[in-house]
């Protein structure tokens, strides 16, 4: 079975698990399966889905971005302060400025990883703390609360079109754009090559450093956009916004079939992984299950996903060895000499 078929089978299994989870929760609390409740679940999960798509691009190149939540919190604080002190600012300016700030923060990660050659986990672990500290310096340790925001700042994500919230429409555009980029652009396909076999990618002329810089900028821009959406949705900005959320984002990718070894993953898998976590996060409180069980269930699912990924990659390695095994030379045949 090739990798594409294996990935599709995993996505089908994950989709079945989501359906079974919904059925089990619906049997306990039928109100959870109402259209309004399911719409709320999708809206609550929208930010996670966008961040997972950005994180997936990073993991495809054998990287990791632990600073996405800090990036999101810093950008959210920047836009919140702008809304507080400049309430006349058009919402279009905020929507343009948020991903730009996130892009700059991601560019710092990308430059250090691509050209200074510092390991991704070291760089992003450092910027995780640095960006959190910058929030405290920027805000003076104070929070921005509901009544200090301008109305357009708070109202935009809550607007709806055809019964769907603006937040969900934005997530749809971001995820669809990422799918098109990865599947139909030359640069997007290059990310798979960089993660699958960096040496071969360099031999065929793919700029590995350029790809690495690009994915961290992309992840940062998405995190910046999500920073505004998060603060606007919950109507508060403070230093600890989304603290630890980067682990949930990585979990969504791993559950969705993205290989931490790089080169394997799909946007549809990420969406299913994020949706699975979103349903767990919204369903367990409804059926009065402790949040600690939510963490335990998520951890168990992540371990299962990692085991499946490892077995798939081992199987892929065996297939490659089998296909590239040199043919056994045919034995030499000695013809008897004919008498002259």
In angstroms, the CA 103 to CA 101 distance is 5
Mean pLDDT check: name the lowest of 201-215, 276-290, 315-329.
315-329
Angle between helices 291-324 and 245-255 (to 10 degrees): 40
Q: Where are the domains of the chain?
A: 5-316
In the chain, the largest separation of any two C-alpha atoms, in whole Å, equals 111
pLDDT given for residue 303 in this prediction: 78
Contact 287, 29 (CB under 8 A): yes
Which of 101-105, 175-179, 275-279, 288-292 is predicted with the least confidence, judged by mean pLDDT? 288-292
The pLDDT assigned to 322 comes to 46
Is a pLDDT exceeding 90 seen at residue 111? yes
Question: Which of 110-124, 154-168, 281-295 is the least confident region?
Answer: 281-295
> Under a CB-based contact definition with an 8 Å cutoff, are residues 110 and 217 in contact?
yes
Looking at residue 320, its pLDDT comes to 40
Residue 172 CB neighbours (<10 A)? 15
Residues 308 and 253: their CA atoms lie apart, in Å, by 14
Vertex 106 angle, CA 66 and 237, to 5°? 75
Q: What is the pLDDT of residues 184-209, one digit of tens each?
A: 999 999 999 999 889 999 999 889 99
Q: What is the pTM of this model?
A: 0.87
Where is pLDDT greater, at 136 or 301? 136
- What does R_g of the chain's alpha carbons equal in angstroms? 24
Helix axis angle for 186-196 and 35-60, nearest 10°, is 70
pLDDT > 90: percent of the chain = 51
Residue 321 confidence (pLDDT): 41
Q: Are 276 and 255 in contact (CB under 8 A)?
A: yes
* Each residue's pLDDT tens digit, 12-59: 888 888 888 888 888 888 888 888 888 888 999 999 999 999 999 999
Helix or strand holding residue 164 (H, E): strand 164-165
d(CA 67, CA 324): 40
Phi, psi of 127 (to 5 degrees): -70, -25
- The CATH label, of 3.30.300, 3.40.50, 1.10.3470, 3.90.550, for the domain at 5-316 is 1.10.3470
């Amino acid at each position: 079975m090739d990798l594409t078929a294996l990935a599709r089978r995993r996505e089908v299994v994950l989709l079945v698990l989501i359906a079974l989870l919904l059925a089990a929760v619906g049997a306990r609390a039928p109100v959870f399966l109402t259209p309004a409740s399911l719409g709320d679940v999708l809206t609550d999960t929208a930010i996670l889905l966008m961040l997972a798509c950005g994180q997936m691009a990073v993991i495809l190149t054998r990287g990791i971005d632990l600073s996405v939540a800090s990036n999101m919190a810093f950008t959210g604080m920047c836009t919140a302060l702008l809304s507080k002190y400049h309430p006349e600012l058009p919402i279009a300016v905020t929507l343009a400025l948020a991903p730009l700030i996130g892009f700059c923060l991601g560019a710092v990660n990308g430059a250090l990883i691509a050209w200074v050659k510092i390991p991704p986990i070291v760089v992003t672990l450092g910027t995780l703390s640095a960006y959190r500290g910058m929030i405290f310096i920027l805000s003076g340790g104070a929070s921005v609360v509901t009544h200090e925001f301008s109305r357009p700042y708070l109202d935009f994500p809550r607007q709806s079109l055809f019964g769907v919230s603006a937040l969900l429409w934005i997530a749809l555009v971001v995820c669809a754009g990422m799918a098109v980029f990865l599947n139909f652009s030359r640069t997007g396909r290059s990310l798979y090559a960089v993660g699958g076999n960096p040496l071969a990618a360099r031999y065929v002329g793919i700029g590995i450093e350029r790809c690495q810089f690009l994915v961290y900028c992309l992840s940062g821009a998405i995190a910046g956009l999500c920073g505004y959406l998060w603060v606007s949705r919950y109507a508060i900005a403070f230093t600890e916004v989304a603290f630890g959320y980067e682990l949930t984002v990585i979990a969504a990718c791993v559950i969705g079939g993205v290989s931490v070894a790089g080169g394997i993953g799909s946007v549809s898998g990420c969406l299913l992984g994020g949706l699975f976590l979103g349903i767990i996060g919204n369903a367990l409180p409804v059926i009065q299950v402790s949040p600690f069980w939510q963490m335990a269930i998520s951890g168990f699912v992540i371990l299962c996903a990692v085991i499946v990924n490892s077995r798939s990659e081992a199987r892929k390695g065996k297939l490659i060895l089998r296909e590239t095994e040199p043919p056994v030379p045919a034995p030499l045949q000695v013809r008897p000499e004919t008498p002259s």
